[in-house]
Chain A
Amino acid sequence: RKEVEQDPGPFNVPEGATVAFNCTYSNSASQSFFWYRQDCRKEPKLLMSVYSSGNEDGRFTAQLNRASQYISLLIRDSKLSDSATYLCVVNLNFGNEKLTFGTGTRLTIIP
Chain B
Amino acid sequence: DTAVSQTPKYLVTQMGNDKSIKCEQNLGHDTMYWYKQDSKKFLKIMFSYNNKELIINETVPNRFSPKSPDKAHLNLHINSLELGDSAVYFCASSQGLTRGEAFFGQGTRLTVV
Q: Which residues of A pack against B, CB within 8 Å?
A: 31-32, 34, 42-46, 49, 85, 87, 91, 93, 96-101, 103-104
Contact = CB atoms under 8 A, between A and B. Distances in A.
Given A87-B43, A96-B55, A103-B40, A43 B104 contact: yes
Contacts of B104: 43-45
B105 interface: yes
Give the secondary structure class of A's interface: strand
* Interface bin, chain B: 20 to 34
B40 A101 contact: no
Given A85-B41, A97-B31, A46 B101 contact: yes
B97 A91 contact: yes
A44 B22 CA distance: 18
A77 B56 CA distance: 41
Contacts of B45: 98-100
B102 A31 contact: no
A100 B102 CA distance: 12
A91 B106 contact: no
B48 A32 contact: no
B107 interface: yes
Contacts of B56: 96, 98
Nearest to A90: B97
Interface string B19-54: 000000000000101000000111111001000000
B59 interface: no
Contacts of A91: 97-98
Contacts of A45: 104
The listed residue with most B CB atoms (<10 A of its CB), out of A31, A98, A101, is: A98
